[in-house]
Structure 1
Amino acid sequence: MTTYDFAIVGAGIAGASLAAELAEGGARVLLLEAEDRPGYHSTGRSAAFWEECYGGPEIVPLTLASGDYLRDNGFLHQRGALYIGRQEDAGALDRFMERFGDTGATIERLHREALAEKVLGLREDWTEAVWEPACADIDVAGLHAHFLARARKAGVDLECRALVDSLSRKDGHWTIKTAAGGTYKASWVVDAAGAWADSLAQLAGARPLGIGPLRRTVVQLRIDPVVPADQPLVLDISGQFYFKPEAGRLWLSPHDEIPSEPCDAAPEEIDVATAIDRFQQVVDCRIEAVERRWAGLRSFSPDRLPVYGRDPQVEGFAWFAGQGGYGIQTSPAAARLAAQLLLGAGRDEMTEKIDASLYDPARFA
């Protein structure tokens, strides 16, 4: 039986990107996925965008460090983003400018005239905004396939329908058993299990970190007039909605974060109705049809920062989890950083400005 250096549990964007980086660094890597195919849950349901301020100032370094990789490999389509508000939200938008002003993000304060030019049918009471010209759509499927291809080329073994059933450690190695009857051995187990991260940690005897799944709903609308294809991503400064055009339709979310058990998430009718109600208060248009609706789980640690690195108590167990909704836009730099931490390798140009201590699992010890 092959003994791997690393067995990564979860083959979404997190596990796939880390597998590629570790294998290209010389490690023998096994990638275990519980579903029939990689990316079935959060990765496959994301309306992802690369947005410099998303996740807060502590996430900006990971986002900026990932930008060139995503652009140079053709995974970004320029769109721009607007955080909008009413007159009473002017202070919140000013504070947003102050909060992100020194992070390296490109942001600009706008008022009604410039704002109305960017959003078709915007109702008159929406008068204030922050403009982020660098925001871009992400080709999520293409990016995920890219990482899987890199991993495969570097010798990673991918096993699907491999739900981890038990973990035991002896003589410096883990024995990993799956519900389908598979048995594998590895020196390290890396937890990239997303919503199931804490459950996997318990199998390894590690203390759960409180990584909690939150449900996010998205609906696809057909509206009249048709939203321009180049209209920016529009987000509420109070976190009540966001929407953007997609192939002649509009993708809309109520920006919900509903606590959930780890599961195959499905949208609730109340969340769909809430999204539409909030949207109609922003844009004057006619909704002709709700064509699709879906939901995914975004998993956050208690401080809403990701968790990268070796568990402080359980030998041979490491975390690559808790990446919330920004795991896709930060995946190149996050995976590079985590691989460097696990391999004991030095930093490179992509990761040299990132403070890894922000994401160390030992902060919860």
Structure 2
Amino acid sequence: MSDADFLIIGGGIAGLSAAARLAAHGRVLVLEAEDATGYHSSGRSVAFSHYGIGGEAVRAMTAWSRAFFQDDPALARTASSLYFADEESRPRLDALGAAMSEFSDSIEPVDAAAIARLCPALRTGAGGAIAGLHDPTGLKLDADALLQRVARDMRAKGGSVLPGRRVASIEATGGGWRVRDETGETHEAPVLVNAAGAWADRIAAMAGVDPIGLAPRRRTIIVVDPPAGAEIAGWPFVHSVAGDFYMLPEAGRLLVSPVDEVEDDPCDAAPEDYDIALAADRLEHYTTVAVTRIAHRWAGLRTFTGDRVPTAGFAADAPGFFWLAGQGGYGLQTAPAMAAAVESLIAGTPWPDGLAQLGVTAATIGPERLRAPACC
């Protein structure tokens, strides 16, 4: 049996980032079901920090987290992003621009000619992109480096990770929680942090805690070759404001997604033929790139709360049980802010400086907002 002050289920970016913070306040033990950390969502993200996704709270946590990434050149490099609209979706572009500009003064409206200069492959003009929003200050994150960094920080403070430890049972004890993994080993701690991603509601059910209605959604990405002779390294991370396409240059190839959100059960997500074909179709619809070969394909789960704001906080119905879930598609870019909030909520440190001023409080991310109201 192993004992800890903080027992964390889930070795993705959320769990490891929280572990790195909590390790300054006691012994941290992370249980990861897979043989490697970051195996599911954290390791399958395109890992880009920008203001085009999520609502106000997500953008606020994205803004707060930027300093963490920029302080370590190994974690991120500056890379631009571009949202574009056709005539039909132009009103959505204007609304997005207003929302993004609340957190950055670098958002630049661009016309069709500028879009063509930024990304020559995009179709512009009649039937194509007529306007866009360009952010030259986006950050391309290195997901693997980030996972290694927070794991290293945690270990330097005495914390540890046990991979290959899928949870078999959870029970409340008089002063905390006892978890038995599938190897038969038990682990106890007064605080149990549920950072199990798509499996977080199932972990709660094992502990006898009411679920909060998490929704795993599958997203598909394909990798294709660029046009012969094209210099794609300087192309931005391109998104349709309609929310049905993105394209990112990476290592000499193009990562493409139909921005799908397909309902799925917690699983080792795999791409389906329809979604692969849809990604290729969207690429050929929005750009002049012809898909002659799909070099690689994968899928990952993005798990959302009902209001699409990540949640962190103690469960009202289970003392010592702490929710850290629902990171959606923004877990990497908001991880530093969420981890600092977790430290405050569990260890009693001051609320992260500047986060409340950006509009994020304990109530903003607390799990009680997700409970169904009592009937009658």
- Distance across 2 between alignment mates of 1:68 and 1:306: 20
Amino acid corresponding to residue 58 of structure 2 in structure 1? I
SS in 2 for 1:224: coil
Instruction: Verify: 1:77 aligned to 2:80, yes or no.
Output: no
Instruction: Verify: 1:7 aligned to 2:7, yes or no.
Output: yes
Instruction: Verify: 1:164 aligned to 2:163, yes or no.
Output: no
- Distance across 2 between alignment mates of 1:342 and 1:215: 31
Amino acid corresponding to residue 140 of structure 2 in structure 1? D
Change (3 A) 1:105 1:34: farther
Which deviates further from its counterpart, 291-300 or 217-226? 217-226
- Distance across 1 between alignment mates of 2:100 and 2:86: 20
Would you say the 8 A contact 1:120–1:227 is kept in 2? no
Would you say the 8 A contact 1:20–1:147 is kept in 2? yes
- Distance across 2 between alignment mates of 1:54 and 1:105: 17
Structure 1 runs (4+) deviating above 4 angstroms are none
> What per-residue deviation string (whole Å, max 9, x for no partner) do you get for residues 230-257 of structure 1?
1000001010010011111000011000
- Distance across 2 between alignment mates of 1:52 and 1:4: 37
Amino acid corresponding to residue 153 of structure 2 in structure 1? R
Instruction: Verify: 1:187 aligned to 2:190, yes or no.
Output: yes
Amino acid corresponding to residue 368 of structure 2 in structure 1? A
- Paired residues for 1:283-294 under 5 Å: 283-294=287-298
Q: Which residue of 2 aligns with 1:355?
A: 361
- Distance across 2 between alignment mates of 1:349 and 1:326: 21
SS in 2 for 1:65: helix
Task: Select the residue among 131, 135, 159 that pairs with 1:132.
Answer: 135
Which deviates further from its counterpart, 336-345 or 118-127? 118-127
- Distance across 2 between alignment mates of 1:104 and 1:4: 41
SS in 2 for 1:147: helix
SS in 2 for 1:88: coil
- Distance across 1 between alignment mates of 2:115 and 2:85: 10
Would you say the 8 A contact 1:10–1:191 is kept in 2? yes
- Distance across 1 between alignment mates of 2:143 and 2:153: 15
Amino acid corresponding to residue 7 of structure 1 in structure 2? L
- Paired residues for 1:97-116 under 5 Å: 97-104=97-104, 106-116=106-116
- Aligned-pair CA distance for 1:105: 5.8
Q: Which residue of 1 aligns with 2:252?
A: 248
- Distance across 1 between alignment mates of 2:289 and 2:96: 29
Task: Select the residue among 208, 229, 232 that pairs with 2:236.
Answer: 232
- Distance across 1 between alignment mates of 2:364 and 2:215: 19
- Aligned-pair CA distance for 1:113: 1.2
Structure 2 unaligned blocks of 5 or more = 372-376
- Aligned-pair CA distance for 1:121: 2.3
Structure 1 unaligned blocks of 5 or more = none
- Aligned-pair CA distance for 1:300: 0.3
- Aligned-pair CA distance for 1:227: 4.9
Instruction: Verify: 1:93 aligned to 2:97, yes or no.
Output: no
Amino acid corresponding to residue 239 of structure 1 in structure 2? G
Q: Which residue of 1 aligns with 2:374?
A: none
Name the TM-score, length of structure 2 as normaliser. 0.94
Would you say the 8 A contact 2:226–2:232 is kept in 1? no
- Aligned-pair CA distance for 1:205: 1.1
Which deviates further from its counterpart, 76-85 or 1-10? 1-10
Would you say the 8 A contact 1:227–1:250 is kept in 2? no
- Distance across 2 between alignment mates of 1:228 and 1:49: 17
- Distance across 2 between alignment mates of 1:335 and 1:205: 25
- Distance across 2 between alignment mates of 1:131 and 1:188: 44
Amino acid corresponding to residue 324 of structure 1 in structure 2? G
Would you say the 8 A contact 2:106–2:137 is kept in 1? yes
- Distance across 1 between alignment mates of 2:276 and 2:350: 47
Which deviates further from its counterpart, 322-331 or 84-93? 84-93
- Distance across 2 between alignment mates of 1:166 and 1:48: 33
The percentage of counterpart residues that share the same residue type is 37
- Distance across 2 between alignment mates of 1:120 and 1:334: 37
Q: Whose strand proportion is higher, 1 or 2?
A: 1
- Distance across 1 between alignment mates of 2:116 and 2:101: 24
Would you say the 8 A contact 1:121–1:283 is kept in 2? yes
Would you say the 8 A contact 2:222–2:256 is kept in 1? yes
- Aligned-pair CA distance for 1:139: 0.5
- Paired residues for 1:289-300 under 5 Å: 289-300=293-304
- Distance across 2 between alignment mates of 1:82 and 1:136: 13
SS in 2 for 1:17: helix
- Paired residues for 1:15-34 under 5 Å: 15-24=15-24, 26-34=25-33
> What per-residue deviation string (whole Å, max 9, x for no partner) do you get for residues 30-59 of structure 1?
100011111111111111101123212221
